Each structure stands twice: as structure tokens, then as C-alpha cells.
Amino acid sequence: MKCIRCRERAEIHLRQHNSAFCRTCYVFYFHRQVERAIHKESMFTPEDEVLVAVSGGKDSLALWDVLVALGYRTVGLHLALGIGEYSATSTEKTEQFARARGLRLITVPLASEGPGLAISTVATSTNRKPCAACGTVKRHYFDGVAAEHGFRVVATGHNLDDEAARLLGNVLRWQTEHLAKQSPVLQPNHAKFARKVKPLFRISEYEAAVYAFVRGIDYIVEECPNSVGATQLVYKDVLNRLEAAMPGTKLTFVQEFLRAGRPAFVTAEAAPPPETCERCGMPSYGAICSFCRLVAEVERKQETRRSAQSG
């Protein structure tokens, strides 16, 4: 099989696009795909400074790498989640990546925030599932750090597989409010919100992994231990089986939802904009935002433990 661009021997075969590339042309193809998504969806321009949320995994590091290669101005944001060995390695990989390329990285060690907000601590103190606690904390810090440093755009490494799995989950439960909001670009509806963008939303997990490999990106290969048994993985598995039988299914599912499906939900679900949290000043549905409610629970738990110890 030959590379469709230069006719040299192809090493990478993309069934869903019915094409094959040599390594050099694959990098070219990948860059062009991402650039097109940014442009077509009006995500940001070279004038914007983009805050890139990086976990240390292949998707977010590939995203940061491609944005830098395309000449965008970026700063990385890494949350050290405090999930044992997994988090230690993710932070190490992220810091190494930034250091080797001379990129600016903001790292927030959650264990040192407020009463101590390592995900494992928050989950046990509040009897929540780790991923629920993690979602609330991540959202708060992505927006909070962006607002604090004046970034108008936050980019995340969500890929096509993530988007397709999320869409399937939303459709299976007909979560109309979530369907209205599922988009590669989420415009801010509060002064403290930044625009959220997903430049890899048309790139499959496989394509991102190949890109990271070809570019020699050293990322954390292990998945978060809390992802074991997650429903998202079941959806991904089902979608992978559909994709194997009918290449292109994931892309069509997401693309056609955005074109033909989503508009119907947007008009039906015009949700009111959020208010402002009395405690932290960030956007909130209700007087106190979900992050501050979480923090208050952690504080109460610690208080109870302290008085039990002293009494």
C-alpha cells in the first residue's frame, strides 16, 4: 500500500477515511485535520492565548504538540489530581513534555488546595464516586485558572471516541439538556467562563495514539485506576464493534448529530445563564456552586474528625 500523498510506502492505514500515509505525510494530515476543525468551528485565532488542559495522556499532549506546531500561543494547565502513583506519573510526564519544549505550564497540586482537595480525599469525605468529585473539581479549576490569568479560551484533548461515547450515553437516556450542550465549542454565558473548545473532536483515539507515537511523545500509558468499570468504556466498546463492522460510524454519528440533531435540542432547551457563587465568585446554578458545596463537605468531615480526636 502506498501513501496517498507522496506515493512512498505507507505505514499508517485509516480505514474510516479509506486512506494510507507514510509517517511524514501522516503528521501533515493530522495537523491539517486539527487546523480545519479550529477554523471551521471558529474555536480561536492566532491572536488568542489558549489554555490547554493537559493530563499527561496521549490526547492532551498530542493536542498541545499540534497547537504549538501550528503556531498557536499556548500555556498548559495540569491538575495534579492526587490519585496515587497514577497522578505522580501523569504530572512527571506533563512536566517533562513542557520542559523539553520550553513551554509554560501551570500545575495545580490539588492536595495543597483549600482543605486538601486530592480526588481520593474529596471522594471519601463526601461519599461521592471519584469521577463525580473529579468532574466538579476539574471544571472549577479549568474555569478558575482561566479567569485568574485572563485566558478567554480553554482547550481540552477530547477525541472522537470520547465524543461518540458521550453522545451515545446522552442519547440512551435522552438527556436533552446535555444534548443541547454537547458541542466542540461551548460559548461562555458568564463573565468568569472561558470558551471551551475540543480541537480533536474529529480525531479518533487510534489516530491520536499514532500521532503521539510518530512524534515521540512520552505520555502516561496507564489509565486512571478509577476508570475501571466506567460506563463510558462500555459505550466505547460498543462503538468500536460498530466501527469495525462499518468504518466511519463514529465520525458520522458525531458529525451528523452536530449538523442535524443538536439544533433541535438547542431551541427546546434554552437554559438560563448561571448566577454567581456567593463563596467563590464563579458561575453557579444556585447561591453556592457545586465545587464550594463539595469543599464545605470536605471541611465538615475534617472538622468532625478533629473534634473526635481531641474529644
Asked if 277 interacts with Zn ion (CB under 5 A), we say yes
Residues binding Zn ion: number (CB under 5 A): 5
Q: Per-residue string for binding with Zn ion, 227-266, x by CB under 5 A?
A: ----------------------------------------
How far apart are alpha carbons 205 and 162 in whole angstroms?
8
Asked if 108 interacts with ligand Q46 (CB under 6 A), we say no
Among the residue ranges 127-135, 144-152, 214-222, 250-258, the one whose residues contact ligand Q46 (CB under 6 A): 127-135
Query: Can you tell me which of 69, 131, 171, 186 binds ligand Q46, judged by CB under 6 A?
Result: 131
Query: Can you tell me which of 146, 289, 294, 298 binds Zn ion, judged by CB under 5 A?
Result: 289
Among the residue ranges 95-103, 154-162, 180-188, 273-281, the one whose residues contact Zn ion (CB under 5 A): 273-281
Tell me how far the alpha carbon of residue 108 is from its chain's centroid. 16
Q: How far is the CB of 120 from ligand Q46 (least distance, A)?
A: 9
Q: How far is the CB of 15 from Zn ion (least distance, A)?
A: 46
Q: How far is the CB of 113 from Zn ion (least distance, A)?
A: 13
Whether 59 contacts 25, CB under 8 Å: no
Asked if 52 interacts with Zn ion (CB under 5 A), we say no
Q: How far is CA 58 from CA 17, 90, 126, 196, in A?
A: 21, 11, 31, 19
Among the residue ranges 16-24, 163-171, 222-230, 239-247, the one whose residues contact ligand Q46 (CB under 6 A): 222-230
Asked if 279 interacts with Zn ion (CB under 5 A), we say yes
Asked if 136 interacts with ligand Q46 (CB under 6 A), we say no
| Contact partner, 69, from Zn ion, ligand Q46, none, Cβ < 5-8 Å per class | none
Asked if 217 interacts with Zn ion (CB under 5 A), we say no
Whether 64 contacts 39, CB under 8 Å: no
User: Environment class of residue 213 by beta-carbon count within 10 Å: exposed (0-12), middle (13-18) or buried (19+)?
Assistant: middle
Q: How far is the CB of 130 from Zn ion (least distance, A)?
A: 21
Query: Can you tell me which of 171, 266, 280, 296 binds Zn ion, judged by CB under 5 A?
Result: 280
Tell which positions 62-81 bind ligand Q46, by CB under 6 A. Answer: 81
How far apart are alpha carbons 94 and 102 in whole angstroms?
12
Asked if 298 interacts with Zn ion (CB under 5 A), we say no
Asked if 106 interacts with Zn ion (CB under 5 A), we say no
How far apart are alpha carbons 72 and 74 in whole angstroms?
6
Q: How far is the CB of 55 from ligand Q46 (least distance, A)?
A: 7
Asked if 226 interacts with ligand Q46 (CB under 6 A), we say yes
Q: Cβ closer to ligand Q46: 25 or 117?
A: 117
Name the site residues for Zn ion (rule: CB under 5 A). Answer: 277, 279-280, 289, 292
